[in-house]
Amino acid sequence: MIKSITLWLPRLVYVITVNIFVLLKRASRRFPKYIYAIITILGTKKKVDAINEENIRRAKEKGKEVTILLHGTLANYYKTMYCTIIILKKLGLDVISIGYNYNTPIENSGAEIKKKIEKILKETNKKKVNIFGICLGGVVARYYAEVLGGKEKINRLVTLQSPIWKIPEKDTGAVANSLFGGRPRLYNSGIEKIKNKHTVKDYLYICSLDDLIIKPEYSIHTGLNCHILRGGHLFASYYTEALRTAAVFIKTGKVKRWY
C-alpha cells in the first residue's frame, strides 16, 4: 500500500497544482484586480527594499528616470504596494516605493517624503523625479509640490483616486476610514492647504465614478487634466487600466484610453 501511495501521490499533487494554476489564470483574466490583491500578500519589506535598491542603481548607471510610488492611507510601501510595483514593472515602469506615516499631519508626511526624495536624487545624480501617488499618497505628493517646493523637482505627477476637496467627517467614506484607523481630520487639514493649487505642469489626475470612499464630488476637478474611469476604491492599486494610463503618461506625457 505504501508503494502504491508513493506512485500516485506525486501525480495527484501534480494534477492539483496544474488545475489550481489553470483556475488562477482564468480568474486573472476575468477578475485581475482580485487576483493581484491576493498575490500582494507575498510582498515583504525585504523584497521591496531590494527592488528599490535595484531601481536606484539602474537610474544611476543606466540613466533611467526615477519614479516615486506613494501608498495611501491604511497601507504601507511594501506589503500593499507589492503587486502594484510588479504590474508597473510589466508596463515598463520601474518605481521606487517609499513610505510615510499616514497617521500624522500632512505637513509631517510631506516633510518625510521630501527628505527621502532628496536622498534618492542625490544617490541617482538626478535633478527631477516622477511621482505616482495613490489615494492619500496623492495628497502628500501635492503638498510636497505646492507647499514644500517640490514642484521644481517633479517632472510628471500622477494621482489616482485621491481627494481634491475636503471630505466631510460625517461622510461614509471618512467614517469608514476613521473606523479602520485613519485620520480624516488630519487629511482634510492638508487638503485645505493645497486647495486650488495645481502648479505642476505635467499633472494627470485619475479618478472614478464608482468610488464610494472618495466620491466623485470630492475627487473631480473640471479644471484639471482629469481621466475618469469606472471601479471602486478598495482595489484601486491593482486596476490595470488605471496603472497603464499612469505608466503611459509618466513615460510619454500622453493620456491613452484602454477601455
Q: Looking at the structure, do residues 13 and 67 belong to the same domain, yes or no?
A: no
Task: Tell me what pLDDT residue 14 has.
Answer: 57
Task: Tell me what pLDDT residue 6 has.
Answer: 55
Q: Looking at the structure, do residues 15 and 58 belong to the same domain, yes or no?
A: no
Q: What confidence category does residue 123 fall into, taking pLDDT thresholds of 50, 70 and 90?
A: very high
Amino acid identity of 78?
Y
In this prediction, residues 199-213 reach a mean pLDDT of: 91
Contacts of 203 (CB under 8 A, 6+ apart): 156, 157, 158, 159, 224, 225
258 is a domain residue: no
Lowest mean pLDDT among 26-30, 97-101, 108-112, 221-225: 26-30
Q: Looking at the structure, do residues 219 and 239 belong to the same domain, yes or no?
A: yes
Q: Which structural domain, as residue segments, surrounds residue 226? A: 42-252
Q: 3-state DSSP: the chain helix, strand, coil percent, rounded to 5? A: 55, 10, 35
Rounded CA-CA distance 36/235 in Å is: 9
Rounded CA-CA distance 44/48 in Å is: 6
In this prediction, residues 161-173 reach a mean pLDDT of: 92
Q: Looking at the structure, do residues 64 and 185 belong to the same domain, yes or no?
A: yes
Q: Evaluate if residue 203 carries a pLDDT over 80.
A: yes
Give 46-68 pLDDT, tens digit per residue. Answer: 999 999 999 999 999 988 899 99
209 is a domain residue: yes
Task: Tell me what pLDDT residue 42 has.
Answer: 79
Domain count, the chain: 2
Rounded CA-CA distance 225/213 in Å is: 22
Q: Evaluate if residue 2 carries a pLDDT over 60.
A: no
Q: Looking at the structure, do residues 70 and 146 belong to the same domain, yes or no?
A: yes
Task: Tell me what pLDDT residue 75 has.
Answer: 92
What DSSP string runs through 30-47? H-HHHHHHHHGGG--HHH
Rounded CA-CA distance 149/161 in Å is: 23
Of the candidates 145, 115, 148, which has an alpha carbon nearest to the alpha carbon of residue 131?
145
Q: Evaluate if residue 27 carries a pLDDT over 50.
A: no
Q: Evaluate if residue 207 carries a pLDDT over 80.
A: yes
In this prediction, residues 243-258 reach a mean pLDDT of: 88
Task: Tell me what pLDDT residue 103 has.
Answer: 94
CATH of residue 248: 3.40.50.1820
Q: Evaluate if residue 31 carries a pLDDT over 50.
A: no
